[in-house]
Structure 1
């Protein structure tokens, strides 16, 4: 342990059984809401009241995230979730998959006209397959093998030590862009793949990504994560300057990703140590730097509490709405740093983030969490409409209850394993 330990008077919510009960209860609420997203070809986006809009179609991102989340719930012993995991796996092996060229469409049978293949989506398919395998779904091994094959053949660049971004349907016309976001979720998927396959190369690849994106770029940018690069990994600081509120590639820096990266860096450190590697000392240093930078520049920066969505290169707010996933990641990362260091300041932030989520994001009238608040912390829908996402919030209530390694679904399996009484 490093840093100042939490003193006995202050205590820690992470050690409080009632806090764990609160997290578990909130998780059950989230799951109950999300089950309505099931459609014939996978899982679709729900509106703000928890209904499927007219014409709702299955999407690969939502289907993979739901499959992963319901797999976590199943291994925790929550009834009714296994069939949802099986449904998700079937959809990812069926209508969401390109049977001719391999890989996955963004929308079932590419009904939106988008036939491109994105690393971001394929990372979530790999994560879903890894979790479904832990849940005991019979066809999960087939899904896992297909996801690994596509990542190995098309997305992973041994030369770059990172993921390529996207291709046309037939794997031609590679996009002249590299993204931190897709590589961040690639890192998450690689941690899960290492646990699912027993192949430590996935940990080595995750370290290569982190060393490039975080230790090589963010650490030299006051720990603000650079999101957009050209094919040669040169930063593109003006990318999407005319579309700053893009839901996936916004202009400037995204503090929510700084939190998410910080947590993944700590998971990587723990996974490397668990596998017998000598984890670099800079992993903890960089995780602390990412967290501190995001807190310093994004929290309460415009006179109202909460974390803004994006900042410019002078760390001034650009897109001021508060998004639920940003706060979910902030709370989960504070918990991870508290576990890793024992420093009381992370307990302070952990409580602050959950207090804000409880007061502002949790929708006790219609269910789930508001996905977006405006700059005055009133529910809004300028960036994300409805409540399509279970993944971020459900992980946020699960992560404080387990250690930093193995990956989350595997950790929940270990938590749920009770030795037999002979």
Structure 2
């Protein structure tokens, strides 16, 4: 077996070129009023307002780019932070809306969700590591909101969403928001050194993966009642929902596999053995049940509880997370089959997802791997694609903290 691709000069050069191409494409999402909005297929800002989950992601992306020495990236990270401190923040009641109001006031839907607020933490943590002005104060505020509003003191797990005044909590719990809380908590630990966030991440991961998923035949349950009972038929009438699709989402199996390896690295010698074992199992099952299971390459979006494809479209973010999981497990174990999958999926991405004509990556492909838009329209953000071209070349752990503490890894 020859060297890992992530160690080869030619592969690293290709990743770097793709990184810069993606950063140039995403810059158009910066909106005049602050924050970032979704881009269309040609990289033009759509008609919608700034969105918090996109803005938090872009603060994270351009902070990493700044740490990697990309000129102009710091200013774009600052633009995202301006949006998070301004039009997207509820100055009266605290927390962050899902999107800005057209008039700069309170949006019509003023719901505050754990998923959205987790990306504020991620963006602020990376921006703090990058030394961006005001990021440290924003991170402290965002962590306070998570701790006082979204973390249930009885279970230690996340509460899904509230109304604007924090009066009514949604009668639903989701694994997707829990997963991104884990990601955000790891980033916060890396930036601040406060290991309470790492320990909270472990607690959430242990329940959602080692308990709920293991107890469900290793098919990740996505939807729960307020007391954490699985809702297997949730959204059966809306199987292609962007954030809460019916069934189980293969890409999340892969994303969890990566996060479990990162969590193990953060815990060091005290890490429980199940983290690596569960990451391996999720990876293997994602390949078995998700990859090319309907006659064409690509990961299907969702499966039912008998492992049959429900939504067969191929999402770019799933391929990106597959690359990242293979890279993380390959580095951790040294086993060659992870490297083979890493190469296979990069070939797939280059052949089908990278859009050299209009820029960026196609966010969605149909079952024949042609561009489509049944679930996702346009090319909203860079987060998954950017991480796919950057993280495989870095040591395991929160990327921004690694780049801050070991700047030689940016080369």
TM-score (norm. length: structure 1): 0.94
After superposition, the Cα gap between the structure-2 partners of 1:111 and 1:319, relative to the gap in structure 1 and judged at 3 Å, is: farther
Aligned partner of residue 385 in structure 1, secondary structure? coil
Q: Which residue of 2 aligns with 1:153?
A: 148
Aligned partner of residue 377 in structure 2, secondary structure? coil
Give yes or no for contact 2:223–2:231 (8 Å, CA) kept in 1.
yes
Cα drift, residue 35 of structure 1: 0.3
Counterparts of 2:94 and 2:3 in 1: how far apart (Å)?
52
Q: Which residue of 1 aligns with 2:41?
A: 48
Counterparts of 1:58 and 1:102 in 2: how far apart (Å)?
18
Counterparts of 2:342 and 2:396 in 1: how far apart (Å)?
16
After superposition, the C-alpha distances for 1:254-281 in whole angstroms (9 at most, x for unaligned) are 00000001100000000010xxx51101
Cα drift, residue 90 of structure 1: 1.2
Give yes or no for contact 2:124–2:135 (8 Å, CA) kept in 1.
yes
1:367 to 356, 359, 362: 359
Q: Which residue of 2 aligns with 1:322?
A: 314
1:350 to 342, 347, 350: 342
* Structure 1 position 416 matched with structure 2 position 407: yes
Unaligned runs of 5+ in 2: none
After superposition, the C-alpha distances for 1:138-161 in whole angstroms (9 at most, x for unaligned) are 200111111011011100123212
1:204 to 161, 181, 199: 199
Cα drift, residue 56 of structure 1: 3.2
Aligned partner of residue 125 in structure 2, secondary structure? helix
Q: Which residue of 2 aligns with 1:57?
A: 49
* Structure 1 position 228 matched with structure 2 position 219: no
Q: Which residue of 1 aligns with 2:122?
A: 127
2:185 to 157, 169, 190: 190
Give yes or no for contact 1:177–1:229 (8 Å, CA) kept in 2.
yes
Aligned partner of residue 384 in structure 1, secondary structure? coil
Cα drift, residue 112 of structure 1: 5.3
Cα drift, residue 218 of structure 1: 1.1
Q: Which residue of 2 aligns with 1:278?
A: 270
Cα drift, residue 64 of structure 1: 0.7
After superposition, the C-alpha distances for 1:352-405 in whole angstroms (9 at most, x for unaligned) are 110000000000000000000001110001111001120000001111011112
Give yes or no for contact 1:98–1:104 (8 Å, CA) kept in 2.
yes
The runs of 4+ residues in structure 1 deviating greater than 4 Å are none
Aligned partner of residue 39 in structure 1, secondary structure? coil
Aligned partner of residue 248 in structure 2, secondary structure? coil
Counterparts of 1:414 and 1:373 in 2: how far apart (Å)?
38
Counterparts of 1:383 and 1:181 in 2: how far apart (Å)?
17
Q: Which residue of 2 aligns with 1:101?
A: 93
Q: Which residue of 2 aligns with 1:302?
A: 294
* Structure 1 position 113 matched with structure 2 position 108: yes
Counterparts of 1:413 and 1:365 in 2: how far apart (Å)?
34
* Structure 1 position 24 matched with structure 2 position 16: yes
Q: How does 1:208-287 map to 2 (within 5 A)?
A: 208-273=203-268, 278-287=270-279
Counterparts of 1:78 and 1:85 in 2: how far apart (Å)?
12
Counterparts of 1:73 and 1:415 in 2: how far apart (Å)?
14
Q: How does 1:395-410 map to 2 (within 5 A)?
A: 395-405=387-397, 407-410=398-401
Cα drift, residue 84 of structure 1: 0.8
Give yes or no for contact 1:224–1:294 (8 Å, CA) kept in 2.
no
Unaligned runs of 5+ in 1: 1-8
Q: Which residue of 2 aligns with 1:376?
A: 368
Counterparts of 2:171 and 2:50 in 1: how far apart (Å)?
28
Give yes or no for contact 2:7–2:393 (8 Å, CA) kept in 1.
no
Say how many residue pairs are matched. 405
After superposition, the Cα gap between the structure-2 partners of 1:360 and 1:112, relative to the gap in structure 1 and judged at 3 Å, is: farther
Counterparts of 2:405 and 2:134 in 1: how far apart (Å)?
22
Give yes or no for contact 1:402–1:415 (8 Å, CA) kept in 2.
no
Give yes or no for contact 2:209–2:220 (8 Å, CA) kept in 1.
yes
Counterparts of 1:69 and 1:222 in 2: how far apart (Å)?
35
After superposition, the C-alpha distances for 1:206-234 in whole angstroms (9 at most, x for unaligned) are 01001100000112333221100001111
Give yes or no for contact 2:223–2:230 (8 Å, CA) kept in 1.
yes
Aligned partner of residue 63 in structure 2, secondary structure? helix
After superposition, the C-alpha distances for 1:88-141 in whole angstroms (9 at most, x for unaligned) are 111101110001100001111377521011000110000000011111112001
Q: Which residue of 1 aligns with 2:285?
A: 293
Give yes or no for contact 1:75–1:135 (8 Å, CA) kept in 2.
yes
Give yes or no for contact 1:119–1:155 (8 Å, CA) kept in 2.
yes
RMSD of aligned alpha carbons: 1.2
